[in-house]
C-alpha cells in the first residue's frame, strides 16, 4: 500500500509538473507572439503616419459609415475578408476592404498595397483614399465603384448585353493604359501579378480601373525581371514562366492581359471554359479557331454585329493570342499592344502556340488552395498560392 501511494503521488507530481511546463511554455510563446504582433502594428502605424499621401481613418468613422459593417452594406467577400459600401459624414461614398484575422493577406501584403497604390494616380487605377489600423483591425478605404467588377458583367447570364462592343473596346484600352502607366509611365515600375476580371472595377460610366495591389512588386530602374519561390496569383491568368519557375516581368502581366482580353471578347471565363470535342482551354479554343480561319466563332454572340465591327474584333483576338504566347520574349510590350489596337494599319505577326493550350482543371473551390509545382527544368520546388 505504501508503495502504491508513493507511485500515485509520483504520477500526480509528474502530471502537475508537465502541466505547469506546458502552461508556462504556452504563456511564453503567446507573450512572444503578442510582443511581435504589437511591434509590427506599432511599426505599421508609424510608417502610415509618416505617409503624407495617405489619410488615416478611425475605426469609429468607418463603422459609422458602413452601419457597423452591416451585412446589408457588404459588396463582396473573399479569402482576404469583406468589402463594404460606406458613406462618410461629408456624403462621400467609399468602399471599405476589411481584412479578416484569418486572411491570407498578412501585414506585409497589406502594407505593400498601401505603399504601392498611395504613390500612383491614373484614371484607370482605383484610388486608395486611406486606411485604418486600430483595435487589431486592418482596413483599406477606396473610392466607391458603383458598377462593381468586370467579371459580374461578363460572366453573369443577365448582364453581357449591357456591354456592347464599343464599351468593351473602352474597357480593354483602359486596362491597357492603366497597365502601361504601371510598367512605364509612373514614378515607379510596377508588376501587378494578379490582373484578372474580378480585379477590374467599373465606375458609373463603365470605365475600367485596375485594383488589388497586394501582390504587386516594385522594380528598380534597370530591373526587367525577378524570381520568387513563392508564386502568388490566380489560376488561369498566371504566365507559364511565372507559375512553373517563379520568373515574372512586364511580360507576365502582358500574358494576364491577353487572357483577360480573350475573356472580354468571348464573354467566357478561362477557368471554367470547357470544350467537349477537343478538351481545350479558352486560349486553346481561340488558337484552334484562328488556325482554322473560323475566329468569328469565338466572338460573344452579344456583340456579333456587322462586318466592320467583326473585323475589328478579329484583330483584338489576334492581339490577345500574341499576348498569351508560350515564350515571354515573343509577347509584345503593353506599349506595343496599345499602339496596334489604335492603329489598324500596323500589320500583326502571326501568333505562335499559346501556353496552356490544353484545358487545365480549375475549380472555384480550389482557387485559393495551395499546391506544389515541380519544375523539371530548374529542379526546384515552387509554392503556388492560388487566389
CA dihedral 166, 122, 80, 27 (to 10 degrees): 180
- C-alpha span between 384 and 387 (Å, rounded): 10
d(CA 129, CA 94): 9
Least Cα distance to 340 among 356, 328, 351 occurs for 351
Distance CA 80, CA 300 (A): 32
The grid coordinates of residue 291 equal 488556325
Instruction: Tell me which residue of 325, 312, 313 sits closest to 351, measured CA to CA.
Output: 325
Backbone angles phi, psi at 208, to 5 degrees: -85, 145
| Residue 126 in grid coordinates | 482605383
Distance CA 258, CA 300 (A): 16
CA proximity to 125, closest of 205, 184, 200, 198: 200
Residue 97 marked in a binding site: yes
What residues are labeled active site?
194
Binding residues for ATP: 97
Which residues does the annotation place in the binding site?
Answer: 97
Amino acid at each position: 500500500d505504501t508503495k502504491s501511494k508513493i507511485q500515485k503521488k509520483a504520477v500526480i507530481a509528474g502530471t502537475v509538473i508537465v502541466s505547469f511546463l506546458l502552461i508556462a511554455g504556452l504563456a511564453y510563446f503567446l507573450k512572444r507572439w503578442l510582443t511581435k504582433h504589437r511591434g509590427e502594428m506599432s511599426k505599421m502605424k508609424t510608417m502610415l503616419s509618416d505617409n503624407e499621401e495617405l489619410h488615416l481613418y478611425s475605426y469609429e468613422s468607418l463603422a459609422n459609415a458602413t452601419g457597423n459593417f452591416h451585412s446589408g452594406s457588404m459588396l463582396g467577400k473573399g479569402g482576404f475578408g469583406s468589402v463594404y459600401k460606406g458613406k462618410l459624414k461629408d456624403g462621400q461614398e467609399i468602399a471599405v476592404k476589411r481584412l479578416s484575422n484569418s486572411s491570407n493577406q498578412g501585414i506585409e501584403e497589406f502594407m505593400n498595397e498601401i505603399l504601392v497604390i498611395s504613390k500612383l494616380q491614373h484614371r484607370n487605377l482605383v484610388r486608395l483614399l486611406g486606411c485604418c489600423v486600430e483595435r487589431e483591425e486592418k482596413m483599406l478605404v477606396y473610392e466607391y465603384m458603383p458598377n462593381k467588377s468586370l467579371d459580374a458583367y461578363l460572366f453573369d447570364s443577365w448582364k453581357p448585353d449591357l456591354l456592347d462592343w464599343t464599351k468593351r473596346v473602352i474597357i480593354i484600352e483602359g486596362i491597357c493604359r492603366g497597365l502601361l502607366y504601371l510598367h512605364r509611365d509612373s514614378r515607379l515600375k510596377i508588376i501587378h501579378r494578379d490582373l484578372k476580371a474580378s480585379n477590374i472595377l467599373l465606375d458609373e460610366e463603365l470605365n475600367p480601373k485596375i485594383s488589388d495591389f497586394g501582390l504587386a512588386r516594385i522594380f528598380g530602374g534597370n530591373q526587367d525581371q525577378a524570381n520568387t519561390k513563392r508564386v502568388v496569383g490566380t489560376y488561369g491568368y498566371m504566365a507559364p514562366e511565372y507559375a512553373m519557375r517563379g520568373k515574372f516581368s512586364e511580360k507576365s502581366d502582358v500574358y494576364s492581359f491577353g487572357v483577360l482580353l480573350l475573356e472580354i471578347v468571348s464573354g467566357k471565363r478561362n477557368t471554367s471554359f470547357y470544350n467537349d470535342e477537343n478538351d481545350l482551354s479558352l486560349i486553346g479554343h481561340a488558337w484552334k479557331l484562328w488556325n482554322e480561319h473560323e475566329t468569328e466563332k469565338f466572338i460573344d454572340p452579344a456583340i456579333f454585329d456587322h462586318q466592320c465591327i467583326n473585323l475589328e474584333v478579329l484583330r483584338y483576338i489576334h492581339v490577345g493570342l500574341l499576348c498569351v504566347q508560350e515564350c515571354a520574349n515573343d509577347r509584345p510590350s503593353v506599349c506595343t499592344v496599345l499602339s496596334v489596337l489604335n492603329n489598324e494599319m500596323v500589320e500583326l505577326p502571326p501568333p505562335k502556340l499559346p501556353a496552356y493550350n490544353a484545358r487545365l482543371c480549375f475549380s472555384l473551390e480550389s482557387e485559393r488552395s495551395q499546391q506544389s509545382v515541380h519544375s523539371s527544368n530548374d529542379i526546384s520546388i515552387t509554392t503556388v498560392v492560388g487566389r
